[in-house]
Structure 1
Amino acid sequence: MDIIWSSLLTVFLCTWTAVCLNIPNPKDSQFHIFYRRAKWVFWAIVSPGLVLSVAIGQYASAWRSVKHFRKLRIKEDRWSLRHGFYADMGGMLLQPKDSTRFLVNSRQLAYLVEKQYLECPQIMQSEIWDKSKTDTLARVLSFFRPLRSNYLRVLLWFVPLEPLFAGRAHQVMCTGIVLSMEVSTAEVLLAAGDVAATPYRHTPLDFVAKQSFTCSYDVMGFFGLRFDDRERPL
């Protein structure tokens, strides 16, 4: 039983600290945030391939946005992978002229910048990092928990711990960055034409993500997987 409980605790701790959720809705209670995280941890343990595929899709989305911004001659200090991840997890809120504000992801931001509706956000990578709350203690405990033998403990002295602290944010505070746009939502939709005529499910800029395959809209949407608030990115 000691071996079983030790194994279960190790799996739980490693999974709990590895799952990185979207920024919660400011209206969410602590219970809802905990419950949402518990559901992702459950699927990560039961079907790790599913969560891995979603993570790969999120990485691909962030990387695609970086390539898009490079084509627009936007340098890395203005838009990087960290910017892409932060936008896709609900960190950037668009405030159009005379319109209701809504969240935009990295692909939608690239579209708005390309169409010259919006300038590339002036956000430093350090700004985004400052908004994170990395649970370093939990990760260190998870790292040391499975180690039993003295031989492995000795080897740890030669293992650099930087990778534990170099990962992306474990959880981001409920504060986003508001981007103001000088045109209204209606003007953007009218200029896009028929592709934007379909009623949207999440935000008025859903049509941008539908222009090509994405993990969030096509895979998760097909299976009806939805673990977070409707106002958050999928």
Structure 2
Amino acid sequence: MPTTPPSTARLAVSTVIFALRADRAGGPPALWTPLVRRTREPQLGHWALPGGWLPPNEELETAAARTLRATTGLAPSYLEQLYTFGGVDRSPGERVVSVVYWALLPSDEAARATIGPNVRWVPADTLPALAFDHAEIIAYALWRLRTKVEYSEIAHALLGRTFTLAELREVYEAVLRRPLDPANFRRTMLASGGLQETGEHRAGTPHRPPKLYRYDPAGPAPGIREPFRDAERTAS
């Protein structure tokens, strides 16, 4: 017998965070995301996205930032609304509509996250069983990121203010989940007009210190969609 849907819905906010972290097995860096353990029913003890209820007097982004800071200690500078998830059966017992934000963090900022029995970082592509529809939400966020990184400068949010071309390539490889030819990548990025040399070099490397770059806010977005794939086809 079908159940009667509730007549009202509660509004919540959640946040998906992505950061580049070293692979535990010694492989290349990968995208990781923090999860929090639910401390109340429904689905007590399950891992879930950071989030909470939306108070009537608080703006959506303010609530997202507040709940994220309360659960993980993080306060990312890049926080963007991702999507609204409002399926009738996504939460047992009541209708819950979640406005989901996403955030990208440089590795050093992610390292300052609260770590404890109720906060856990996991690889974004190999998730444990999650509460509600949170696995679907993370999958959607990954799809958006992988689409957007090909035509925008969004990759810079996973880096520090300055970076080497090798560090930038690591971000693209982690997001797109495929290796990129270093020479073609370098040529495409430098030809894009979206990067600036800082005149400085990365110290502490075993070989010739690599140049440091930053994004040029006045330049075009250094995406890699068509030019880079054309270069890969030519190289092959």
Q: TM-score, normalised by structure 2?
A: 0.22
Structure with the larger helix share: 1
Structure with the larger strand share: 2
